[in-house]
Structure 1
Amino acid sequence: MLDLLNIHDTAQADISYRHVGSTDITRYEKMHVEVFRDSGQASIAVAHEIADLMRDKASRGEPCVLGLATGSSPIRVYAELVRLHEQEGLDFSHVITFNLDEYYELPPANRNSYWYFMHDHLFKHVNVAPRNINIPKGNIPLDEVYRHCMDYEARIQAAGGLDFQLLGIGRTGHVGFNEPGSNSRSLTRLITLDHLTRVDAAGDFQGISNVPTRAITMGIQTINQARRIVLLAWGHKKAEIIQRTVEGERTSEIPATYLQEHPNVTVLLDEESSAELRRFSTPWLVGPCQWTDMLERKAIVWLSRHTEKPILKLTERDYNSNGMSDLLALHGSAYDLNIRMFNQLQHTITGWPGGKHGFDDTFRPERADPEVKRVIIFSPHPDDDVISMGGTFERLITQGHDVHVAYQTSGNNAVTNADALRYAEFSRDLTDTLGTSTARLDFIIEELSDTTTGGTADSADIRRIKALIRRGEAVAGARFVGAANDHIHFLDLPFYETGSNRKNELGEEDIRLTRELIERIRPHQIFAAGDLADPHGTHRVCLDAIFIALAELKAEAPDWLADTRLWLYRGAWQEWPIHEIEMAVPMSPAQVEAKRNAIFFHQSQKDGAMFQGEDNREFWQRAEQRNRETAQLYNQLGLTEYEAMEAFRRREF
């Protein structure tokens, strides 16, 4: 079992942070669940459990048989195992590995194959013997697949069975590639991938049409025969399926529910993926609560929506009938509680996101002074600024603030080869018209036209063309909302510049570039992307760069930093829950239209952007709906009706 309370000091704090209330608050959960503040802490815990198992097996002269998973969830686990090998001598020479799955008809050398993934993230960095690495073969004839699958089962048994199985989970509830409808007694086999699974993989393959339709996967029975299972899930997109997996009934429609039958399984979650479990979504319906200000806001917003009543109309009976009698007792009456919560929500609404000079700011989200504030809007990709806070961006400028926008990455990875080819051909024709050499462009065009190079990294020249496309769009969009040319910055953080979907780890140069901009501008306000659900993970790395840069500066304690406030926005994939919003900036119909037009400048991301996630709508459509829904929620709670709202949450640093 995971020794979660001893592996890492901060892990202990993270677990105790989430386990509040009565001892039976987990009674609806049919599997053992542990929740960490973030996925990094959880990944370290898993890696250390695997390392302890490896050492124990080695001490007894026995092989350690590991079942391994791919995808984004286990990447940090493998990174920690590599660190333990390189820095602490963790020995893999006696380890035998079996991977869960592989795309069918994808050769090992393809960068999207799981063979490539495992060697890239783990095998080439440790001393595991090549003969001990077992991964299903995706590039074998169809008439050989059945025999290959049965041989795979036989090899697992010959190795003594799986000592440990690491799992992720798909939004369909699949483990491995056991899609809905899989039988609990299924073995290793060829399977057709669910459409949603292929949608989630589309970004890696530059479009869903390039995603394989089939895969070879271990079966449910194969997985459940492992002596120990740990399932990982990170991020808000996994929250719903985790709730159904952990608290729902066993069903073939959610194959992960079959893990409920296993006697030694642990589900490891971060805060976002655990959010729909009852002990976190509605703890007042599970048992006694330790009421905090944030939990009170969450509960009352929930009660208002559940009863379909504005907050000021909630009654004592409403509270008592919905598990909140103890909250009512703390505050004396529903009237007092309602007024208090109504005022809190009302004070989050402001048309002056930079503060309103000369007015009392006691109950305003932002301070009134200084009258003119220096502002940095950090945008992970070249369009997140206008998609996520285009209305606020324009408002800050028109209200006289000194607004800078910093595009943290080039965004070249989200430009299709077809778009790049169009621009390259235009450049060649223009160059030819002007009478200069086109030889280099001819070579680039030939490279872009080659359809046989799928899964390979873009060359430096192609990356530059794609980056220039995104840069031109970003400048046009920022200028449209009023930004000055010399206030538009391109950081081009190096971690992003790999030419493929896999990015490098955050490095010193990324942090230096971020820090230097902050030091140069000395902002009173920083706006940054707190949306960690983007399909390619870039937002998280960009936010970490800001956090680390600010932490370094804080350690040096410059006088100007005390006046800096950090506001987080969310992007194209999610919005802050209304109880977490600390500043809501209303938009008129005209401002909504202006924001839409700013987004339209990002033509390469319209009409089928590469990283759509599960939502096929264009980014402007998502943004408008999200902004309108936020305004509607405020109105349903009994507050003023607006056309739309952009929402922010303040973060201390």
Structure 2
Amino acid sequence: MSRLNLLEETRYERLPVTVFDNKKSAEKSVAARIAALIKSKQANGETAVLGLATGATPIGVYKELVRLHKEEGLSFKNVVTFNLDEYYPMQPDAVQSYVRFMKEQLFDHIDILPENIHIPDGTLPKEKVVEFCLAYEQKISDVGGIDLQILGIGRTGHIGFNEPGSAPNSGTRLVTLADLTRRDASYDFGGKENVPTKAITMGVGTIFKAREVILMAWNLKKAAIVKQAAEGEISSDVPATYLQLSDKAEFVLDADAASALTRFDTPWLVRDCVWDIALIKKAVVWLSKTTGKPILKLTEEDYNNHGMAQLATEKGPVYNLNIDIFNKLQHTITGWPGGKPNADDSQRPERREPAKKRSILFSPHPDDDVISMGGTFIRLADQGHEVHVAYQTSGNTAVWDDDALRFLEFAIDFSRVQGGDTAKLEAVYNEARQHLGNKLPNQPDNDAIRTVKGLIRKGEAIAGARFAGLPDEHIHFMNLPFYDVLKTSAKTDYEADIQQTMQLLQQVKPHQVFAAGDFADPHGTHKVCFDIILTALQRLKATEEWVKDCWLWLYRGAWHEFEIHEIQMAVPLSPQEVLRKRHAIFKHQSQKDTPVFPGDDAREFWVRAEQRTSETAREYNALGLADYEAIEAFVRWKF
């Protein structure tokens, strides 16, 4: 690509942005740049001064630096580091401490000198913090300033812990954390109420003094804020936009984090495109939404005025384009998610044969099935298919401690009424009360409490699945081991989980598999569960004939929906079916009202689900299609 074309394609971006196909490639590139700086400084007998970040984003970079040290002899003896931030107050040995994070991820595995490591002190008395911050700034100056500062970006747009409202010339200081930042950290602390309200952070002005700044972002969760930071107006509401003022700053992204940038999201606005059917569908839907007109009312003038003249010229006339895309959207809509028997299926999303399908719905947590696709779940059962549901994890983490005690108290009272020996139950109860009374933030529960919490969610899931019409023998509780193991170790081997999933698939031999495709799940469980299913299916495909006739459908949960142009099967729900779905969700009483981990959405799960599916229906209607009460959406994943 010529420099002129590149400038045109990136004209919405207000600073340099480098995009890699995947996170691993990006991490290796950043680590290589850091290593090159260290070696260059070593060759000149100089010190390399690095500004370091914490959180999930830089972990892969640190892992690669450790590999370079151990396998290629990269030395860190001439390196001085300054970390961006630390929670306040925070003990250095706490699980959530950035001191501990840096030791575990980097410092304990390289030859850096301990006296060259600098991290804000979360143990200081409050009256000493200002003095410490001034000294921190002075130490940076004394070593000649930071050569290379690496950053992540929070969903508030914060860099370091410089939250919205931070000034561009701010220095190291004590700050108050935004509510969204604390909610994002709630999983690590066992609930938002345990997340510190303050932190010590380098300021935006401190970051600006670095001779080079690299902001890294990975995955779809960061796409929206990356777009704001790279393409939006400079504003204190999004502190990362201040980096646009620097000629030393660069964004390094993977493809997912870059996906909302104009050159990837709406490429017709910046360059000529190769118009395949997927891009045409996306563009026409976008044009309809942008103009506020139904698809069949779009005109050539609409195309020309919104950067789509090339499409109109190459693939027009535009009315034919409109009809084609309208028909494709119409064909996604079906009241027969298992396929309609004795019907022409050439324009339908699912096959008509076999008329009675074996379907298995994988639910990462014990309520994702009814929250995400409860209407379709019920419809499949009503239409006579052999429907199975598989709850992949126990979901015990998401039960309040008080509920666990309440159920133990019930068990003791019931046993006593029945004349049973309550001594063992009372011992378990007393141990549980003592454990919970002394429980630290994010400390794993003991075995008995985990069991009780898991049984609470199991009972709710059984009630929900029965309400949807399933016999008990079609309700499967997998309790995949990764879920509890990851609470106490950084396990990376999911072989036991994959083998268990393969066994269930071999038992059912499904024609349809429904899996959670909501990879923006803030806790990551959905993505892990999907990868396990996909690996199991790919392995079975090599040896099992039935897999060749098995279709994998993705649904999304309570976090966000597929875009309209992505949807391949849209199942409309009547008002009565929406109500049935709501009642199925209500069976999950432990998740009603205020769930333990609500994410960044204060609505109850049933409210989110109803509003999400009704919004999908409204979007279909705005495009000129029928007006339904709600629509559940699915995308087929070809493996």
For this structure pair, what is the TM-score category when the shorter chain's length is used for normalisation?
Answer: over 0.9
User: Does 1:570 pair with 2:556?
Assistant: yes
CA deviations over 1:105-130 (Å, ceiling 9, x no partner): 12223222222333343334444444
Decide which of 336, 341, 358 is 2:325's aligned counterpart: 341
One-letter code aligned to 2:585: I
Cα RMSD of the aligned pairs, angstroms, is: 2.5
Q: Check conservation: 2:53, 2:151, Cα contact below 8 A.
A: yes
One-letter code aligned to 2:635: R
User: Does 1:214 pair with 2:198?
Assistant: yes
Q: Secondary structure at 2:216's aligned position in 1?
A: strand
Partner of 2:84: 100
Q: Offset of 1:639 from its aligned partner?
A: 0.9
Partner of 1:448: 436
Distance 1:505 1:27, change over 3 A: same
One-letter code aligned to 1:494: P
Decide which of 533, 536, 542 is 2:529's aligned counterpart: 542
Q: Check conservation: 2:412, 2:422, Cα contact below 8 A.
A: no
CA deviations over 1:299-348 (Å, ceiling 9, x no partner): 11111122222111111111122111111112231221111111100110
How far apart, in 1, do the equivalents of 2:133 and 2:284 lie? 54
User: Does 1:630 pair with 2:616?
Assistant: yes
Decide which of 421, 445, 453 is 1:435's aligned counterpart: 421
How far apart, in 1, do the equivalents of 2:72 and 2:571 lie? 51
Partner of 2:52: 68
CA deviations over 1:369-394 (Å, ceiling 9, x no partner): 12222222111111111111111111
Q: Offset of 1:131 from its aligned partner?
A: 3.3
Q: Secondary structure at 1:626's aligned position in 2?
A: helix
One-letter code aligned to 1:608: T
User: Does 1:261 pair with 2:245?
Assistant: yes
Distance 1:420 1:41, change over 3 A: farther
Q: Check conservation: 1:191, 1:214, Cα contact below 8 A.
A: yes
How far apart, in 2, do the equivalents of 1:546 and 1:89 lie? 39
Q: Offset of 1:406 from its aligned partner?
A: 1.5
Q: Secondary structure at 1:102's aligned position in 2?
A: strand
Q: Offset of 1:22 from its aligned partner?
A: 6.3
Q: Secondary structure at 1:226's aligned position in 2?
A: coil
TM-score (norm 2): 0.93
Q: Offset of 1:57 from its aligned partner?
A: 4.2
How far apart, in 2, do the equivalents of 1:565 and 1:95 lie? 53
Q: Offset of 1:283 from its aligned partner?
A: 2.2
Partner of 1:471: 458
Partner of 1:7: none
CA deviations over 1:522-561 (Å, ceiling 9, x no partner): 221111111111111111111222222233334x243222
Q: Check conservation: 1:30, 1:260, Cα contact below 8 A.
A: yes
Partner of 1:494: 481
Partner of 2:225: 241
Partner of 1:351: 335
How far apart, in 1, do the equivalents of 2:635 and 2:626 lie? 20
Q: Offset of 1:439 from its aligned partner?
A: 1.6
User: Does 1:604 pair with 2:590?
Assistant: yes
Partner of 1:252: 236
Q: Secondary structure at 1:66's aligned position in 2?
A: strand
Q: Check conservation: 1:424, 1:444, Cα contact below 8 A.
A: no
Decide which of 245, 254, 278 is 1:270's aligned counterpart: 254
User: Does 1:645 pair with 2:635?
Assistant: no
Q: Offset of 1:197 from its aligned partner?
A: 2.0
Range with greater deviation from structure 2 (198-207 or 611-620): 198-207
Q: How does 1:310-325 map to 2 (within 5 A)?
A: 310-325=294-309
One-letter code aligned to 2:231: E
Q: Check conservation: 2:14, 2:244, Cα contact below 8 A.
A: yes
Distance 1:413 1:86, change over 3 A: farther
Decide which of 588, 594, 613 is 2:580's aligned counterpart: 594
CA deviations over 1:474-527 (Å, ceiling 9, x no partner): 222112111222222222222221474986335222222222222332221111
How far apart, in 2, do the equivalents of 1:408 and 1:616 lie? 25
How far apart, in 2, do the equivalents of 1:464 and 1:575 lie? 33
Partner of 1:141: 125
Q: Check conservation: 1:404, 1:487, Cα contact below 8 A.
A: yes
Q: Check conservation: 1:21, 1:288, Cα contact below 8 A.
A: no
How far apart, in 1, do the equivalents of 2:365 and 2:74 lie? 38
Q: How does 1:141-290 map to 2 (within 5 A)?
A: 141-290=125-274
Unmatched runs of 5 consecutive residues or more in structure 2: none
Q: Secondary structure at 2:200's aligned position in 1?
A: strand
How far apart, in 2, do the equivalents of 1:489 and 1:386 lie? 15
Q: Offset of 1:141 from its aligned partner?
A: 0.3
Q: Aligned pair count? A: 634
Q: Check conservation: 1:382, 1:471, Cα contact below 8 A.
A: yes
Range with greater deviation from structure 2 (105-114 or 169-178): 105-114
Q: Offset of 1:183 from its aligned partner?
A: 1.9
How far apart, in 1, do the equivalents of 2:109 and 2:476 lie? 37
Decide which of 353, 369, 389 is 1:405's aligned counterpart: 389
Q: Check conservation: 1:167, 1:176, Cα contact below 8 A.
A: yes
Distance 1:460 1:591, change over 3 A: same
Q: Check conservation: 2:428, 2:448, Cα contact below 8 A.
A: no
How far apart, in 1, do the equivalents of 2:72 and 2:525 lie? 30
Distance 1:421 1:299, change over 3 A: same
Unmatched runs of 5 consecutive residues or more in structure 1: 1-15
Q: Offset of 1:60 from its aligned partner?
A: 5.0
Q: Offset of 1:290 from its aligned partner?
A: 2.2
One-letter code aligned to 1:439: A
Runs of 4+ in 1 over 6 A off after TM superposition: 19-22
Distance 1:499 1:305, change over 3 A: closer
One-letter code aligned to 2:586: F
How far apart, in 2, do the equivalents of 1:476 and 1:231 lie? 47
Distance 1:143 1:23, change over 3 A: closer
Q: Offset of 1:93 from its aligned partner?
A: 4.7
How far apart, in 1, do the equivalents of 2:409 and 2:111 lie? 47
Decide which of 570, 594, 603 is 1:617's aligned counterpart: 603
CA deviations over 1:160-209 (Å, ceiling 9, x no partner): 43232221112221100111222222111111122222232233333333
How far apart, in 1, do the equivalents of 2:74 and 2:590 lie? 46
Q: Secondary structure at 2:54's aligned position in 1?
A: coil
One-letter code aligned to 1:645: I
One-letter code aligned to 1:587: L
Q: Check conservation: 1:315, 1:334, Cα contact below 8 A.
A: yes
Q: Offset of 1:460 from its aligned partner?
A: 2.7
How far apart, in 1, do the equivalents of 2:133 and 2:448 lie? 42
Q: Check conservation: 2:572, 2:631, Cα contact below 8 A.
A: yes
Distance 1:213 1:501, change over 3 A: farther
User: Does 1:367 pair with 2:354?
Assistant: no
Q: Check conservation: 1:425, 1:445, Cα contact below 8 A.
A: no
Q: Check conservation: 1:536, 1:611, Cα contact below 8 A.
A: no
One-letter code aligned to 1:385: D
How far apart, in 1, do the equivalents of 2:454 and 2:70 lie? 36
Q: Secondary structure at 2:174's aligned position in 1?
A: strand
How far apart, in 2, do the equivalents of 1:116 and 1:456 lie? 16
Distance 1:604 1:79, change over 3 A: farther
Q: Check conservation: 2:366, 2:461, Cα contact below 8 A.
A: yes
Q: Offset of 1:23 from its aligned partner?
A: 5.5
How far apart, in 2, do the equivalents of 1:640 and 1:373 lie? 28
Q: Check conservation: 1:569, 1:649, Cα contact below 8 A.
A: yes
Fraction of identical pairs, as percent:
55
TM-score (norm 1): 0.91
